[in-house]
Structure 1
Amino acid sequence: MLKSMRFAALAVAGAAALSACAQQEEEVVYTSPEEAYCVQTGGSYVLRSGKAGTIGVCILPDGTERDALAYYRENNPA
């Protein structure tokens, strides 16, 4: 009886350990094309509030900050 309880406990622990290894990929949902473009080019997208309202800012890998919509439009002409 004690042996079967140990086996059951080990089986449960093993299953828990294996399930922790099976990570699911999270689907990334972007709220705008400029946000998606910023992130896909290696930047970080942040929202900044000011007197004129809220704007999206793309922080490029070199640290340069750009208006995200302007950056998107410059690199994706219609």
Structure 2
Amino acid sequence: MNADEISERASLLHHRIYAEHIRKDPALLYRAVAMLEKGIAKNGGTVGHHTWQSATIADIQQPAETRR
């Protein structure tokens, strides 16, 4: 296994942990959106801010029964 594969696996594990936390406390998504909006309001935000904002808002608006 090379360094890129190790990095990719570590990233996937982090995302799994984040998903578990969000399942236990869905309000985390609302807090995340608020933090992103604060960062965007402060300095216009980065492409990453806007991408995450779109992703979190889409997840909040998606009916629970259609989520994986």
TM-score range, shorter chain: 0.3 to 0.5
TM-score, length-normalised on structure 2? 0.32
Structure with more relative contact order (C-alpha pairs < 8 Å, separation 6 or more): 2
**Greater strand percent: which structure?**
1
Larger Rg: 1
**Greater helix percent: which structure?**
2
